[in-house]
Amino acid sequence: MNGALEILNSRFETATRRKAAAEEAIRAAQAELAEAIRQCEIWSAAIKLESRELGVPPKKQSVKTSHLVLDAIRARPDGITALGLFGNLNGAWNGKKTYIYSILKRLRDRGMVEVLDDKYFITEKGRNNKSSEEGED
């Protein structure tokens, strides 16, 4: 019986040493992870700082392009051509000119704008539409 007790005691001590070694390995991995996170935060702060020094503007919340178009048409009760619309939006939006036509078609299909003599006019439905919602189109 003494021999069996010694074997069990030996195995228990081995398991205890292995558990302690595993716990130490976990602590070392956690410390390494914490250091990596700290390094990422440092690099992120450095990139933000460098972006400001280079004059890169921070990202702004975007406004749906269709809402920009509607707002521009609303501002011109005498109507506006697609080219004039692109000129008005050039500062607020850096998309392609051809995309303006697809937005205008979509707004026309929804009944928010109408076309007379190549000029776009806002309809009652377009006037009542909420603009400047956030998101992308």
SS3 call for 120: strand
In CATH, what number is assigned to the domain containing residue 98? 1.10.10.10
Please check whether residues 79 and 122 belong to one and the same domain: yes
Q: How many domains does the chain have?
A: 2
| Cβ-based neighbours of 107, under 8 Å, separated by 6 or more | 66, 69, 70, 113, 126
Per the domain annotation, does 12 fall within a domain? yes
Whether pLDDT at 49 is above 70:
yes
Q: Identify the pLDDT of residue 66.
A: 82
The pLDDT tens digits of the residues spanning 5-41 come to 899 999 999 999 999 999 999 999 999 999 999 998 8
CA separation (Å) from 45 to 37, 52, 75? 12, 11, 41
| Parent domain of 82 | 65-128
Report pTM. 0.48
Please check whether residues 124 and 85 belong to one and the same domain: yes
Helix (H) or strand (E) holding 67: helix 65-74
Whether pLDDT at 130 is above 70:
no
